[in-house]
């Protein structure tokens, strides 16, 4: 494996760009291949079997791009599929749950942590088990917030309607006196300002992509695969449906403009 090989990253759709954004901020010299499963999003209300099958197909696709490591940016796919696929494939595969849990535990002083995510992520209790594995005394308060995803995709990051839905979902976590809130879904970091405003000063929001990026960097370093001399990193974008949505969303949140997005038949992998 060459250090110039790209890092593969995938999500159920466009939201994983929040993780890619953090990844390239941490490692600006790395080449990256992103896949967004825009034809089959959302994963958050699908079964474990389905998400596992999709994850297998995507990993097989990314392998054709000779990636040196894979990041599962999607919290739902991390929760449902990481444990299976990390044993099956020889390249390093990382999810966002364990790094996110470590960051949350490190932050919490009062040992009361809130976790928000899709129905699937919350139902899997993946964050809760990872947090309790690190420190069994921590109390975890879970809440599925399924409507946050469409609000973000509509670009309603700071909006009176968004504030209303935030209050509706998060009131019970605010009343639970948590001091740390895990943003356990790719889209939620984009609502961070609005969520922080509602939760107040005593609550720190944790974006799992920060710790995940550091972990990827460490694994590449250990394996002598860091691409440290690359002045012109290459980013490739693939989706399973029309490219338009990806282009629009990427140009809303990424630090550069994206034009070239290719549509592939993910079912054939």
Enumerate the active-site residues. 74, 185
Q: Tell how many helices (H) and how many strands (E) occur in the chain.
A: 11, 10
Q: Indicate whether 162 belongs to the interface with ligand DGL (CB under 6 A).
A: no
CB 122 within 8 A of CB 97: no
Stretch that binds ligand DGL, among 58-66, 113-121, 128-136, 227-235 (CB under 6 A): 113-121
CB 175 within 8 A of CB 5: no
Residue 65's CB is within 10 A of a number of other CB atoms, namely: 14
Among 18, 38, 55, 118, contact with ligand DGL (rule: CB under 6 A): 118
Cβ-based nearer residue to ligand DGL, 112 or 143: 143
Cβ-based nearer residue to ligand DGL, 45 or 242: 45
Q: Indicate whether 11 belongs to the interface with ligand DGL (CB under 6 A).
A: yes
CB 184 within 8 A of CB 103: no
CB 68 within 8 A of CB 220: yes
Q: Which of 140, 149, 97 is nearest to 118 (CA)?
A: 149
Cα(249)–Cα(36) distance, integer angstroms:
12
Stretch that binds ligand DGL, among 2-10, 25-33, 39-47, 234-242 (CB under 6 A): 39-47
Q: Which of 267, 235, 260 is nearest to 61 (CA)?
A: 267
Q: Indicate whether 142 belongs to the interface with ligand DGL (CB under 6 A).
A: no
CB 185 within 8 A of CB 120: no
Stretch that binds ligand DGL, among 5-13, 28-36, 164-172, 259-267 (CB under 6 A): 5-13
Binding mask 14-33 for ligand DGL (x = CB under 6 A): -x------------------
Among 42, 92, 99, 189, contact with ligand DGL (rule: CB under 6 A): 42
Among 18, 38, 55, 75, contact with ligand DGL (rule: CB under 6 A): 75
- Which residue is it, tokens 């954004």? 21
Residue 205 DSSP symbol: E
Q: Which SS3 state, helix, strand or coil, does residue 169 take? A: helix
Cα(191)–Cα(207) distance, integer angstroms:
11
Cβ-based nearer residue to ligand DGL, 7 or 81: 81
Scanning residues 185 to 214, which ones bind ligand DGL (CB under 6 A)?
185-187
Cβ-based nearer residue to ligand DGL, 5 or 85: 85
Q: Which of 227, 248, 221, 228 is nearest to 237 (CA)?
A: 248
Stretch that binds ligand DGL, among 10-18, 157-165, 167-175, 231-239 (CB under 6 A): 10-18
Cβ-based nearer residue to ligand DGL, 84 or 177: 84
CB of 120 to ligand DGL, least distance (A): 7
**Positions that interact with ligand DGL (CB under 6 A):** 11-13, 15, 41-44, 74-76, 117-118, 121, 149, 185-187
């Amino acid at each position: 494996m060459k250090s110039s090989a790209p890092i593969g990253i995938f999500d159920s759709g466009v939201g994983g760009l929040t993780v890619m954004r953090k990844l390239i901020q941490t490692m600006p010299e790395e080449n990256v291949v992103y896949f967004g499963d825009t034809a089959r999003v959302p994963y958050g209300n699908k079964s474990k079997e389905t998400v596992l099958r999709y994850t297998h197909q995507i990993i097989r696709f990314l392998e054709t791009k000779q990636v040196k490591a894979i990041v599962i940016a999607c919290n739902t796919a991390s929760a449902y599929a990481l444990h299976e696929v990390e044993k099956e494939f020889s390249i390093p595969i990382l999810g966002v749950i364990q790094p996110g849990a470590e960051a949350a535990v490190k932050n919490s002083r009062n040992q009361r942590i809130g976790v928000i995510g899709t129905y699937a992520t919350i139902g899997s209790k993946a964050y809760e088990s990872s947090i309790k594995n690190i420190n069994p005394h921590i109390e975890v308060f879970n809440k599925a917030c399924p409507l946050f995803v469409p609000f973000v995709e509509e670009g309603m990051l700071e909006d009176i309607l968004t504030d209303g839905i935030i209050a509706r979902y998060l009131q019970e976590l605010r009343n639970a006196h948590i001091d740390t809130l895990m943003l356990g879904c790719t889209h939620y970091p984009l609502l961070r300002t609005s969520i922080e405003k509602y939760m107040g000063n005593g609550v720190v929001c944790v974006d799992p992509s920060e710790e995940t990026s550091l972990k990827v960097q460490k694994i590449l370093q250990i394996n002598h695969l860091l691409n440290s001399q690359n002045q012109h990193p290459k980013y490739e974008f693939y989706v399973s449906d029309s490219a338009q949505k990806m282009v629009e969303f990427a140009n809303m949140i990424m630090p550069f403009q994206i034009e070239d997005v290719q549509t592939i038949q993910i079912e054939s992998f």
